[in-house]
Amino acid sequence: MIQHWDLFLAPYKQAIDEMKVKLKGMRSQFTMQSEHSPIEFVTGRVKPIASILDKAARKGFSLEKLEEEMQDIAGVRMMCQFVDDIYRVVELLRIRNDFEIVEERDYISTKKSSGYRSYHVVIRYPVQTIDGEKKILVEIQIRTLAMNFWATIEHSLNYKYSGQFPKDIQERLVRAAEAAYLLDAEMSQIRGEIQEAQAIFSRKKENKDTD
C-alpha cells in the first residue's frame, strides 16, 4: 500500500518541485529588473496521505477517482505584500502556456464564513514521466502576508479543535480576520511610501555591492 501511495504521489511531488522553480523564477525576474515583485515568497507541499484520506471520506470522494475529484493533492502557495499584487499574479498565471487553468475561486471579493480570504487557481499541469506525459491538478493559493498569517493560525487551531471551535474563539477569529483585512487596506494606502523606501534601500544595496 505504501509503495502504491509513493507511485501515486510521485508525479504530484514532481509537479510541486517544478512549479516552485517556475514561480520563484518569476520573482527573480522582477528583482533582476529592480521592479517591485508581486510575489513575496512561494511554498509548496504534497498533501499528507492521512489528510487525503480524511478529506476523501468527508467529501465522499471515491479513491479510484481521487485525481479528478481532489484538486489540492498538490498545493502551491504564493504570498504577496499587497492585495493588488494578487490580481497581478493571477494575470501572470493566465498568460502562461505551460499549464491550463481549470478553475478560479475568488475568496477575496467573497470571503468564506470562517473569515478565510485567498484567491485559488486550479491548474492542469503536464508532468513528463518515463511512461509519458501525465496531467495532474495543482491548486495555487494566492494571498497576502496578512491573509497567510490568519489562515496559518486558524488552520492550526482547526486541528486542535477538530473544526469545532468554541463560540468565543470563533468570534475572535472572525475579528482577527477583520483586523487582517484592515491591515491589508491600510498597507495598500501607504503602498506608495513603502515602495519608495524599498527602491531607496535596493539602490543603496546595489551601490554597496558595487563598491
Residues that bind ligand 0O2 (CB under 6 A): 20, 40-41, 43-44, 47, 51, 55, 72, 75, 105, 112, 114, 116, 120, 151, 154-155
Q: What's 47's DSSP letter?
A: P
Q: Which of 40, 69, 139, 206 is catalytic?
A: 139
Distance set, CA 87 to CA 74, 190, 199 (Å):
22, 18, 22
Work out how close the CB of 75 gets to ligand 0O2 at its nearest, in angstroms, rounded to a whole number: 6
Work out how close the CB of 110 gets to ligand 0O2 at its nearest, in angstroms, rounded to a whole number: 12
Residues 62/69, Cβ–Cβ less than 8 Å: yes
Work out how close the CB of 54 gets to ligand 0O2 at its nearest, in angstroms, rounded to a whole number: 9
Nearer to ligand 0O2, 156 or 210 (CB): 156
Nearer to ligand 0O2, 112 or 205 (CB): 112
Nearer to ligand 0O2, 45 or 88 (CB): 45
| Residue 31 one-letter amino acid | T
The position carrying cell 479510484 is 64
Work out whether the CA dihedral 69, 104, 115, 190 comes out positive or negative. Answer: positive
Nearer to ligand 0O2, 76 or 83 (CB): 76
Residues written for the chain: 211
- Residue 171 annotated in active site: no
Question: How many Cβ atoms sit within 10 Å of the Cβ of residue 131?
Answer: 7
Catalytic positions are 139
